[in-house]
Amino acid sequence: MNLQVKIDRIKNNLDAQAYTVAAGEAVKIIEIAFRKLLVDGLALLSDKDRLKVMQAIIEIGKGEKGVESFGLGQMLAVLRKSKFNDAWEAATSSDLSAIKMINLDALNEIRIKLTHDAAEASKFEAEFLFHALEGVIQAFGIMSLEKQEPVANKVPTPAEIEQKKVLKEVKQADRVKNTYDVVDRKEKRRLAVQKNLTRPQDIKALQELVSNLDGKNILDIGCNNGDYIIDRLSAVGDIDAVANLIGVDIDDQIIREANEKHARENFSFIKLDSESNDFLDDLLDLMEDKNVEGFDLITVPMLLLHLKKPYKLLRVLRKVLNAGGSIFIRDMDDRLAMAHPDENNIVERMLEISSAVEFTGFRENGRQIYSLLKKSGFNDIKIHPESINTIGRSHDDREALFHINFDYVLGDLRLATEKYPDSAEWAGAYEWMLDAYEELEELFQRDDFFYQMGTIVYSAKK
Ligand SMILES: C[S@@+](CC[C@H](N)C(=O)[O-])C[C@H]1O[C@@H](n2cnc3c(N)ncnc32)[C@H](O)[C@@H]1O
C-alpha cells in the first residue's frame, strides 16, 4: 500500500475517534519514514556526513544490528548523534525548522506507552503523532524517496502473473520455424488488402532503388501468388522490359496459382524453401537455367518475420546480388504500432497476445534487420520512413487497416486453442479476444481514434 493511502487511513481513524488505532498506525509509519530516510536518504548527504551517520548506526547497533532492525528509539538516537538534521539541510538546501520543533523524545515516549504498556492513546496523543508524521514526511520529502515502491494499481494480480507465465511458456522466446498458412482464405484476403495499403510507400522506396526495369533481373522471395511483385514493378517501370522476374515461395499451391495468373516467358515462379540448406544451390541452378548471372533487385516483403534464421537467408541473397544491386525489405515491428485513445488497453493487450502466439511470426523483427544486413555484408543500409495510419482515411480504409492488423491475431489465437486444448489461458485469451475484436473494430471508426501500423521498410546495396 502506498504512503498516501496509509495517511488517509489514519485521518479516517481520527475522524472516527479511533485514537489508539490512529496513533498505532502513525507510529508505525513514522518508523517506516525514518528507516527510509536512513537508508535511501543517505545517498543525498555529503560523503563526510554519510560517514558520520554510518558510524552512528554502527555504534548504536553495536555493530550487530542494521537500520532495518532498529526500533524508533534507536533511529532517533542515530539522527541525534550524527546531527542528521544539519547534514540534511546542508545537502538539500531545505529548512527543517518545523521538524526541529517537534519533541521527538515525547514521540518516543508515547510509542513506548502504546506498544510496551498496551495503553490507550488519548485524542491529544493521536493528533500529536499524526502531525509529527506529516511534519517528518514533508520535511524530508519522504514521498519522493518512496517512488520506488510499486503503486497499488500497477501490481499485477496473481491471475495476470499466472497468465503471463503460461503465455511465456509457449511463447516463441526466440524464433520458431515458419508455420504460416498461406492458402487460408482469410489470410489471402488480408494480404490483398495489405498490398493496397502499403503500396504508396513501397513504390516510393522502389523508385529510389531502380530507375527503370530495362533488362533487369529481379528476385522476389516469399512471392505468394505473384500479385504483389507484379503490382509494384508495374508502378516502377515497363514490366515487359524485365529480363527475368523470378519469384520463390515455399507453398506448392500458391506457386501453381502464381504461374497460372502471371504466365509469361520472362517470369518464373518456383517452389523453394528459402530456409533450406540447399537454397543457395537451388537458386544457383535456377539462375544457370535462366542465364542469370546475378540480380539487380531482390525484394523480401513480409517474409523475414516468419523465418527462424533470417541471417542465413540474407547472406545467401547477398551472394546472388549484383555489385551495386539493391535489396528491399518490408517487415513488421509491433513496437512501432501506436493507438490512441486505447482506454481499455485493447490494442496493447492484442499486441501482447499476438507476440505470444507462436503462429504470428516474430513480431519484433523490424529492429533486428539493420544488424542482420550489416552482419551479412550489405552497405548503404537505409530505412524508408513512413507511417501507415488512420489519419485522413475513409471509412473503408480504416476498416481495411483494422483487418490487416488484427485479423491474423484472432485466427492464430484460435489455432493456439486447438493446439493446446487443455490450456485455460489460451481459451481465456481467445474468449477475451472475440469481444475485444468487435470493440476494436468500432474504435477504428471513431474520428478521434489514431492507429499507426507497426511496419518498416529497409533497403541496402551490395
Ligand atoms: C506474409 S506472406 C507475404 C506475401 C507477399 N510477399 C506480400 O507481401 O504480399 C509470406 C509469404 O512467404 C512465404 N514463405 C514463408 N516461408 C517461406 C520460406 N521458408 N521460403 C519461401 N517462402 C516462404 C509464404 O508462403 C507466403 O506466401
Is pLDDT of 199 > 50? yes
| CA 223–ligand 1 middle distance (angstroms) | 6
Name the average pLDDT for the chain: 86
| CA 132–ligand 1 middle distance (angstroms) | 69
Q: Is residue 301 lining ligand 1, measured as CB closer than 6 Å?
A: yes
Is pLDDT of 105 > 70? yes
| CA 180–ligand 1 middle distance (angstroms) | 8
Mean per-residue pLDDT for 289-300? Answer: 97
pLDDT of residue 170: 39
pLDDT of residue 169: 42
**What is d(CA 368, CA 326) in angstroms, rounded to the nearest whole number?**
19
Q: Which residue has the higher pLDDT, 232 or 153?
A: 232
Is pLDDT of 298 > 70? yes
pLDDT band for position 152 (cuts 50, 70, 90): very low
182 Cα nearest atom in ligand 1:
25
pLDDT band for position 27 (cuts 50, 70, 90): confident
Q: Please classify residue 202 by burial: count the beta carbons closer than 10 Å to its beta carbon, then call 0-12 exposed, 13-18 middle and 19+ buried.
A: buried
Contact 139, 324 (CB under 8 A): no
pLDDT of residue 182: 60
Of the candidates 407, 395, 413, the residue with the CA atom closest to the CA atom of residue 437: 407
DSSP 174: S
Q: Is residue 195 lining ligand 1, measured as CB closer than 6 Å?
A: yes
pLDDT band for position 183 (cuts 50, 70, 90): low
The top-scoring range by mean pLDDT among 74-78, 98-102, 216-220 is 216-220
Q: Which three cell numbers stand for residue 382?
A: 537505409
pLDDT of residue 97: 78
Is pLDDT of 76 > 80? yes
Q: Give the dihedral sign, CA 353/354/356/359.
A: positive
Q: Which tens digits make up the pLDDT trace of 37-57?
A: 888 788 788 888 888 888 888
pLDDT of residue 2: 65
Is pLDDT of 454 > 90? yes
Mean per-residue pLDDT for 160-189? Answer: 55
Candidates 229, 254, 277, 303: which one to mutate for ligand 1, based on the most atoms within 8 Å of Cβ? 303
Q: Is residue 255 lining ligand 1, measured as CB closer than 6 Å?
A: no
Candidates 231, 232, 249: which one to mutate for ligand 1, based on the most atoms within 8 Å of Cβ? 249
Q: Which tens digits make up the pLDDT trace of 248-262?
A: 999 999 999 999 999
Mean per-residue pLDDT for 287-309? Answer: 96
Is pLDDT of 411 > 90? no
Candidates 175, 182, 331, 388: which one to mutate for ligand 1, based on the most atoms within 8 Å of Cβ? 182
Mean per-residue pLDDT for 373-396? Answer: 95
Q: Is residue 190 lining ligand 1, measured as CB closer than 6 Å?
A: no
Query: 7-16, 40-49, 263-272, 358-367: which range is least confident on average?
Result: 40-49
Is pLDDT of 61 > 70? yes
Q: Which three cell numbers stand for residue 348?
A: 496493447
| CA 169–ligand 1 middle distance (angstroms) | 27
Residues 335-338: contacts with CB under 8 Å, at least 24 apart: 335/364, 335/366, 335/367, 335/454, 336/366, 336/452, 336/453, 336/454, 336/455, 336/456, 337/405, 337/451, 337/452, 337/453, 337/454, 338/389, 338/450, 338/451, 338/452
Q: Is residue 404 lining ligand 1, measured as CB closer than 6 Å?
A: no
| CA 381–ligand 1 middle distance (angstroms) | 23
| CA 222–ligand 1 middle distance (angstroms) | 3
Query: 26-35, 196-205, 234-243: which range is least confident on average?
Result: 26-35
pLDDT of residue 143: 67
Is pLDDT of 439 > 80? yes
Q: Number of C-alpha atoms within 13 angstroms, CB side, residue 137?
A: 19
Is pLDDT of 344 > 90? no
pLDDT of residue 144: 60
Instruction: Match 542528521 to its residue by C-alpha cell.
Output: 84
Q: What share of the chain is helix, strand, coil (3-state, %, to 5)?
A: 60, 10, 30
Give the start-to-end residue ranges of the domains of the chain.
Answer: 3-154, 185-461
pLDDT of residue 29: 84
Q: Which tens digits make up the pLDDT trace of 440-453?
A: 999 999 999 999 99
Is pLDDT of 166 > 70? no
**What is d(CA 354, CA 363) in angstroms, rounded to the nearest whole number?**
8
Is pLDDT of 315 > 80? yes
**What is d(CA 418, CA 438) in angstroms, rounded to the nearest whole number?**
22
Q: Is residue 251 lining ligand 1, measured as CB closer than 6 Å?
A: yes
At 34, the amino acid letter reads F
DSSP notation for 295-324: EEEEEEET-GGG-S-HHHHHHHHHHHEEEE
220 Cα nearest atom in ligand 1:
6
Overall fold of domain 185-461: Rossmann fold (3.40.50)
| CA 303–ligand 1 middle distance (angstroms) | 5
Q: Is residue 257 lining ligand 1, measured as CB closer than 6 Å?
A: no
pLDDT of residue 90: 84
